[in-house]
Amino acid sequence: MSIFLLIIVSFLAAFSLTGYMRQYALKKNIIDNPNERSSHTMPTPRGGGVAVVISYLLSLAGLIYLGYLPPSIGITVIVAGFIIALLGFLDDHGHINALVRLAIHFMVAIGVVVALGGFAEVTIFNGLELGFVANIIAVLFLVWLLNLYNFMDGINGIASIEAITSVLSIALIYWGLNSALNSQVLGLMAATVFGFVLWNFPKAKIFMGDACSGFLGLVLGIWALYALKQDTALFCAWIICLGVFIVDATFTLIRRILSGHKMYDAHRSHAYQYASRKYQSHTKTTLGVLTLNVAWLLPMAYLSAKKIMMPELIIAIAYFPLIVLAMYFNAGKTENDQ
C-alpha cells in the first residue's frame, strides 16, 4: 500500500468513526452541557476524538508493517498514546482523580524518555550541555504539552486546526531540508484529525473529548522530542509551530497561579476564550489561530530549522507577538477583573 493510499484510508476511517462516535455518545448520553465555564451554548456530544486515536494508531502500525517507520519509535508512540487516550476516555465517562491522572502522565512521560534513549547529550545555546537535567526537562515537557492541549480544547476546531497546521508545517520543513526524519507520520496525523474536524468545525456536531486532546498533546510532544534527538534546531521549530497553544496556556497558568488560583481550577480565561467572546465567534478565533500558524510561526520555524541565527533566539522572536496578544486579551484574568 502506498503512503498516499494509507493517508486517504486514514482520513476516511477517522471521518466514518467520528460519525459512529457521535451516535454512540447520543445513545449513551455522553453530552457536554453548557455551564458558566463553557465556551459553547448548546448541549453537544463529546468523545469524537476517539476516532482520531484509533485511526492514527492503526496507521502507525501500518507504517511499521510497510517498513516506513522504525518499530522502536512506532511502538513507543502506539503504547504511550494508547495509555493516555484510554485514561482520557475513562475520564470522559467518569471522573478520575486529578492526582491519579497526573501520576499516570508522569509515568508515561518517563517511559517515553527512557524508550527514546534519554537526552543527556543534548546541548542548547551553541554548546551548553544539560546532562541528566535534559531528561527531567523532557519529561516535564511531555506532561505539560499533553495537559495544555486539554486546556486549549475549548472552542470549535481550535485543537484540530492547531494539530493540522503544526504537523503540516513541520512536514514541509522536513521536506524543504531533505531531513531524514519521517514526515509520513505527520501527514497521517493531519489526515486523521481532518477526518474529525469536519464534524467539529465551523459548527460542532461533536466535541473531541479528553481521550483525544491529551493524546494529541502527547504524540506531538513525542515527535518533537524525536526531532530533538536529531537536531536541536528542529526541536526549536516544533516549539515555534506549537507556539499559540504553548504561550496561551503557559501565560494563563502563570497569571492565575500568581493571582492565587489553584492549577486545576476550571476556568475560561485563556486568551482564545476571551477572543471568542470578544468577537462572538468560535470560527473567527480558530481561523485567527490558523492564520498565525501559517503566516507567522511557519516562516519563523523554517528560519530556526535553517539556523539562520541561534534557534533559541528565534523562539523568543516568534513568541513575542503571541505574548502581546495574550496580554491584550487579558489571558489568565478572571472575568470579574475585567
- Per-position pLDDT tens, the chain of length 338: 688 999 999 999 999 999 999 999 999 888 888 766 667 768 899 899 999 999 999 999 999 998 999 999 999 999 999 999 999 999 877 778 889 999 999 999 999 999 999 999 998 998 889 999 999 999 999 999 999 999 999 999 999 999 999 999 999 999 999 988 889 999 999 999 999 999 999 999 999 999 999 999 999 999 999 999 999 999 999 999 999 999 999 999 999 999 988 877 778 899 999 999 999 999 999 999 999 999 999 999 999 999 999 999 999 999 999 999 999 999 999 865 55
Write down the pLDDT at residue 255.
96
Domain count, the chain: 1
Write down the pLDDT at residue 28.
85
Cα separation, 198 vs 99, whole angstroms: 34
Cα separation, 253 vs 243, whole angstroms: 15
Of 302, 163, 151, the closest CA to residue 236 belongs to 302
Cα separation, 44 vs 294, whole angstroms: 30
Q: State yes or no: cis peptide before 70, omega within 30 of 0.
A: no
Write down the pLDDT at residue 162.
98
Domain range for 91 is 3-337
